[in-house]
Amino acid sequence: MQRQFLSLAGALLALAGCGSVTGSSHTSGTPEPPSGTPALAVTVEVRSNYYNPTNPLVAVGGTVTWNWIDSGHSVTSDGSPAFTPNAPVSNAGTTLGPIVFATAGTYSFHCSIHGVAGTYGSGTMTGAVFVQ
């Protein structure tokens, strides 16, 4: 009986290890770029514990504006390249931007309360502006 239990436990552990890391569960310093055509202007909603969209794709010279739909979140640029200005923890109705992204690159950002600087996918509120 104990041998059967150990065999079953081993099989379950092996199956659990078969999952892949994709999408929002991706954790690294460099997020994966989105596909599609870069936009000239993007609005990101700051919602309850997430940004929408999380990874806007913007043309060089394009803009991003963050609009707070929910309260108690920030937009904090991290890494290099970085963007300015940043927004402190703010309430619904707040707007940051439009910010012009004049140079190609990946600009990571996070909420200072619900995300972790420099680690995309860590915490619930991280994102990146992709400028191409």
Q: Is residue 44 part of a domain?
A: yes
- Dist. CA 19–CA 22, nearest whole Å: 9
Provide the token pair at 76. Answer: 């904090």
CATH classification at residue 87:
2.60.40.420
Mean pLDDT of 101-118: 89
- 51 vs 1 pLDDT, higher one: 51
Q: State the residue range of the domain holding 42.
A: 38-131
Q: Is residue 89 part of a domain?
A: yes
Q: Is residue 13 part of a domain?
A: no
Q: Is residue 120 part of a domain?
A: yes
Three-state SS at 7: helix
Q: Is residue 22 part of a domain?
A: no
Q: How many domains does the chain fold into?
A: 1
pLDDT of residue 102: 98
pLDDT digits (tens, 9 = 90+) for 55-88: 999 999 999 999 999 999 999 998 889 999 999 9
Q: Is residue 26 part of a domain?
A: no
